[in-house]
């Protein structure tokens, strides 16, 4: 095997080296793509055209990258603090109740194919987690970091589980279409995407019931953790 046949693989060592040296991932991938394109004889203008075309075609990625700076700007000007203050003013709001409402909303939106309405970057980190924390702070006062981390983990899990089991109901979802194509390729032709979506409903309902059961116990769990932390503080042995 001559050296010329290996040139198109030059992007692989660039990616490996870049990640190993902890360089900016976006920069590493971009350089690897440019190097691979030049190695196979593409001119620079064609490379830029290809990058732009792929970026525009990946609308989900483009939307995600555009959302990040907007969320960062909102956070800088106090989005998290305003969310916490708003929830703190609601007497009946608890961490579990907020997560329950969000879970139902997220699962229903996923079932309708509106998966990008919520998400970890655009909803959980800047809005949901601060609101859930704010409800706990309003009830118990300042919280130690381990309890805050636990609340944030529940907020992230709530989003993941809701959309994971909700989006399978949407018949135009990629995984549903993939399963439909796989079944047809293997001779099972009497199954339609609608059937797959309908059979996903019992699973989504089971996920809803199970996770709601976990969330019902969350408020009591937070209270126990706060009480245990306060006892450690009183005894003078808190780390």
Q: Model confidence over 90-123: pLDDT tens digits?
A: 767 899 999 999 999 999 999 988 887 888 878 8
> Are the C-beta atoms of 104 and 208 separated by less than 8 Å?
yes
| Residue 44 sits in the same domain as residue 89 | no
Q: Express each pLDDT in 126-152 by its tens digit.
A: 889 888 988 898 888 888 999 999 999
| Residue 52 sits in the same domain as residue 99 | no
| Residue 87 sits in the same domain as residue 177 | yes
| Residue 10 sits in the same domain as residue 90 | no
> Are the C-beta atoms of 225 and 147 separated by less than 8 Å?
yes
Q: Which of 65-79, 168-182, 216-230 has the lowest mean pLDDT?
A: 65-79
| Residue 120 sits in the same domain as residue 186 | yes
| Residue 92 sits in the same domain as residue 31 | no
- Whether residue 207 lies inside any domain: the answer is yes
Alpha-carbon Rg for the chain, nearest whole angstrom, is 24
Indicate the average pLDDT of the chain.
81
Q: Express each pLDDT in 31-67 by its tens digit.
A: 888 888 888 777 777 777 776 676 655 555 555 555 6
Measured distance CA(133)–CA(148) in Å, rounded: 7
| Residue 88 sits in the same domain as residue 52 | no
Q: State whether residue 85 is helix, strand or coil.
A: helix
Specify the pLDDT at position 12. Answer: 84
The whole domain housing 35 covers 3-57
Whole-prediction pTM value?
0.67
Residue 175 backbone phi and psi in degrees, to 5: -65, -35
Asked if the model's pLDDT at residue 16 lies above 70, the reply is yes
Q: Express each pLDDT in 59-70 by its tens digit.
A: 555 555 556 666
| Residue 123 sits in the same domain as residue 170 | yes
Number of compact structural domains in the chain? 2
Specify the pLDDT at position 88. Answer: 66
Tally Cβ neighbours within 10 Å of residue 39: 15
- Whether residue 71 lies inside any domain: the answer is no
> Are the C-beta atoms of 208 and 107 separated by less than 8 Å?
yes
Confidence of residue 2 (pLDDT cuts 50, 70, 90): low
- Whether residue 209 lies inside any domain: the answer is yes
Specify the pLDDT at position 172. Answer: 75
- Whether residue 195 lies inside any domain: the answer is yes
Distance of CA 166 to the CA centre of its chain: 14
> Which token pair is 202?
């019992």
Specify the pLDDT at position 109. Answer: 92
Specify the pLDDT at position 239. Answer: 45
> Are the C-beta atoms of 218 and 99 separated by less than 8 Å?
yes
Asked if the model's pLDDT at residue 237 lies above 60, the reply is no
Asked if the model's pLDDT at residue 217 lies above 60, the reply is yes
| Residue 119 sits in the same domain as residue 224 | yes
Strongest mean pLDDT among 69-73, 219-223, 233-237: 219-223
Measured distance CA(123)–CA(21) in Å, rounded: 32
HEC readout, 214-234: HHHCHHHHHHHHHHHHHHHHH
| Residue 85 sits in the same domain as residue 52 | no
Q: What does each C-alpha distance from 134 to 93, 125, 126, 233 come to in angstroms?
A: 9, 13, 12, 22
Specify the pLDDT at position 70. Answer: 62
| Residue 90 sits in the same domain as residue 42 | no
Specify the pLDDT at position 212. Answer: 95
Q: Express each pLDDT in 177-216 by its tens digit.
A: 787 788 888 888 788 888 888 889 999 999 999 999 999 9
| Residue 173 sits in the same domain as residue 139 | yes
């Amino acid at each position: 095997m001559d050296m010329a046949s290996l040139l198109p693989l030059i992007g692989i060592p660039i990616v490996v080296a870049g990640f190993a040296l902890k360089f900016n991932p976006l920069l590493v991938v971009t350089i690897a793509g440019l190097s691979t394109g030049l190695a196979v004889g593409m001119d620079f203008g064609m490379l830029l055209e290809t990058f732009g075309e792929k970026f525009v075609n990946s609308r989900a990625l483009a939307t995600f990258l555009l959302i990040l700076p907007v969320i960062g700007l909102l956070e800088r000007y106090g989005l998290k603090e305003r969310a916490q203050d708003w929830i703190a003013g609601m007497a009946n709001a608890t961490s579990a109740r907020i997560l329950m409402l969000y879970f139902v909303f997220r699962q229903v939106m996923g079932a309708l194919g509106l998966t990008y309405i919520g998400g970890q970057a655009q909803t959980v980190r800047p809005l949901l987690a601060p609101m859930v924390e704010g409800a706990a702070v309003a009830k118990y006062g300042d919280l130690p970091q381990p309890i805050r981390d636990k609340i944030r983990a529940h907020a992230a899990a709530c989003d993941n589980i809701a959309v994971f089991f909700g989006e399978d109901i949407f018949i135009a979802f990629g995984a549903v279409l993939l399963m439909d194509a796989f079944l047809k390729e293997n001779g099972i032709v009497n199954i339609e995407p609608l059937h797959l979506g309908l059979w996903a409903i019992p699973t989504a309902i089971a996920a809803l019931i199970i996770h709601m059961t976990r969330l019902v116990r969350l408020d009591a769990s937070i209270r126990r953790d706060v009480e245990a932390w306060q006892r450690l503080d009183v005894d003078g042995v808190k780390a």
